[in-house]
Chain A
Amino acid sequence: MINKKYIEKNVLKAAALHFAQHRQIQLLDFLTEETPHKIKFQHIKKIIVPDRFSFSSCALPALNFSEELRILISFITKQQLKIKEMSFKAFEHGDYTLLYDDLNQSGILALLDVSSWKEEWGGYTSFVADNEVFRLVPQKNSLFIVNHDGLKHFVKYVNHHAKGKRFFVEMWLNGPAEI
């Protein structure tokens, strides 16, 4: 399922080094098969709280490669991680999330994007401390991993130029200290 190059030790070591320096990494061509596509229409439900967010989502109990994913992310982040929460999300024209005061999410966040996307459509994920620290522009079949401690993030409003929806798997992982 996971592209074989991400099982090679020297690639993983380079990824771990990059993560240690930049607190985030984006792995392209991540899966050999685009598995998430098969689950995208199951039980997905739109939720709107106007002053906080608007998107579609469903909880994911597990993916058939969850365990491999957990091990890979643990290696790159050099932490013994456990999966805390996993969901499947879709953002279409008019969807967004906003920052708010009690938005407190810490741990490791992994986003597995499955759609082709353009930055000018909005819908990208912006990570902020006081200002924007970095911006994840979705790339088809890529895994983004970030140490989310001390950060907040929002998904930029998806504008009318967007073609289709941005689909991704969102995974929160915690180290043993937090379990």
Chain B
Amino acid sequence: MPRPGFEPRSSPLHELVSPGKRPGLPSKGQHDWPDYTTAASKPSNFLHRIKKFRRIVLKDMLSSQNIMDMPSKNIHITHDNHPYPHWILQNVFPENSAKQSAAALDSFKFTRSVSDLFQFWQTADFKTLKLPQPLHELYHHFSSKNFISYIAKLTHTKLSSTIDMSAFRYEDTDYLLPHDDQLEGRKIAYVLNLSTLKEKEGGALELFENNKSNPTKVVKRYQPVFNSLVLFQVSPTSWHQVAEVIKKNRLTITGWFHD
């Protein structure tokens, strides 16, 4: 059942700046909307009111606990230590929230990234971007004290408040070859799947067994399942790859929790 939180809410701000009634641009023949351009005192008064309402809306948005309840009621968690500790949280967020996050990514600017190791579309880190509301809420949620301590407890890992987050889109033939994710500070890697791919469509997250920290062969394969969160501990043995995507789009929000 859809949960509240991501539904577009009717706010005082909406009422003030509804389409076609933008202040300063009164439509001809419409006199129900005051013409703020003629009186010097009125625009500032109006702006003041907007600012005030923005503060109220923002405060309401940030303090709301029902925006993205965590964990969601249907969450299902599995854990495996082989080939290295990893966790899979299915139905991690309220379905509607996950859907709106995925939809918000549609209008997002992705950059093509191609190298010897990978080929995909990627956004800049979310902290550097002006995010549409569902993604703003998601980012806020992931970097919240509550969520980070939930992840810290689940993974028995000490985490700070630092996170990285960006979105990735893999299209036909895109892939990511073996790497271990190691970079200073990265403790727990996460992949939030915002698409579902069948086995024949590729795109699986594949985990390697290792010999003295060198990857040997793939021993676990996880097909992307919408609204599932995969977590794993970053270490010299955390070798993994993303299998080539076949005629489909694979959409994820990915990053790391830091120590």
Chain A interface (Cβ within 8 Å of chain B)?
49-51, 94, 96-99, 122, 126, 154, 156-157, 159-161
Instruction: With both chains docked as a complex, state the minimum distance between the C-beta of A70 and any C-beta of chain B, in angstroms.
Output: 30
**Contact partners of A160 in chain B: CB under 8 A:** 173, 244, 246
Given that A50-B216, A51-B239 are known contacts, is A159 also in contact with B208, CB under 8 Å in the complex? no
Chain A binder among B48-56, B130-138, B152-160, B174-182:
B174-182
Residue among B119, B177, B239, B246 with most chain A CB within 10 A: B177
Q: CA separation between A99 and B115, bound complex, in Å?
A: 10
In the complex, the answer to whether A50 meets B116 with C-beta atoms within 8 Å is no
- Give 12 new A-B contacts, CB below 8 A, not counting A50-B208, A50-B241, A51-B214: A49-B214, A50-B177, A50-B178, A50-B239, A51-B178, A51-B179, A94-B244, A96-B116, A98-B116, A98-B117, A122-B173, A160-B244
| B5 part of interface (Cβ distance < 8 Å) | no
| B79 part of interface (Cβ distance < 8 Å) | no
**Contact partners of B179 in chain A: CB under 8 A:** 51
Interface majority SS (helix, strand, loop, mixed), chain B: strand
**Contact partners of A126 in chain B: CB under 8 A:** 116
In the complex, the answer to whether A154 meets B116 with C-beta atoms within 8 Å is yes
In the complex, the answer to whether A157 meets B216 with C-beta atoms within 8 Å is no
**How many B residues touch A, CB cutoff 8 Å?**
17
In the complex, the answer to whether A157 meets B175 with C-beta atoms within 8 Å is yes
Q: CA separation between A157 and B175, bound complex, in Å?
A: 9
In the complex, the answer to whether A161 meets B173 with C-beta atoms within 8 Å is yes
Question: Given B119, B173, B175, B215, which contacts A51 in the complex, CB threshold below 8 Å?
Answer: B215
Nearest A residue to B247, CB-CB: A160
Interface hits, B216-259 → A, CB 8 Å: 216-217, 239, 241, 244, 246
**Contact partners of A94 in chain B: CB under 8 A:** 244
Nearest A residue to B214, CB-CB: A51
Nearest B residue to A126, CB-CB: B116
Q: List 10 A-B contacts (CB under 8 A).
A: A50-B177, A50-B208, A50-B215, A50-B217, A51-B178, A51-B215, A96-B177, A99-B116, A159-B173, A161-B173
Instruction: With both chains docked as a complex, state the minimum distance between the C-beta of B245 and any C-beta of chain A, in angstroms.
Output: 9
Q: CA separation between A154 and B119, bound complex, in Å?
A: 14
Q: CA separation between A18 and B113, bound complex, in Å?
A: 32
Question: Given A157, A159, A161, which contacts B177 in the complex, CB threshold below 8 Å?
Answer: A157
**Contact partners of A122 in chain B: CB under 8 A:** 173
Q: CA separation between A40 and B15, bound complex, in Å?
A: 74
Instruction: With both chains docked as a complex, state the minimum distance between the C-beta of A100 and any C-beta of chain B, in angstroms.
Output: 9
**Contact partners of A98 in chain B: CB under 8 A:** 116-117, 177
Q: CA separation between A96 and B215, bound complex, in Å?
A: 15
**Contact partners of A51 in chain B: CB under 8 A:** 178-179, 214-215, 239
Given that A51-B239, A96-B177 are known contacts, is A157 also in contact with B214, CB under 8 Å in the complex? no
**Contact partners of B241 in chain A: CB under 8 A:** 50
Q: CA separation between A87 and B177, bound complex, in Å?
A: 25
Q: CA separation between A70 and B117, bound complex, in Å?
A: 34
Instruction: With both chains docked as a complex, state the minimum distance between the C-beta of B251 and any C-beta of chain A, in angstroms.
Output: 19
**Contact partners of A96 in chain B: CB under 8 A:** 116, 177
Instruction: With both chains docked as a complex, state the minimum distance between the C-beta of A106 and any C-beta of chain B, in angstroms.
Output: 19
Nearest B residue to A49, CB-CB: B214
Given that A50-B208, A50-B215, A50-B216 are known contacts, is A157 also in contact with B239, CB under 8 Å in the complex? no
Instruction: With both chains docked as a complex, state the minimum distance between the C-beta of A30 and any C-beta of chain B, in angstroms.
Output: 27
In the complex, the answer to whether B119 meets A157 with C-beta atoms within 8 Å is yes
Instruction: With both chains docked as a complex, state the minimum distance between the C-beta of A73 and any C-beta of chain B, in angstroms.
Output: 26
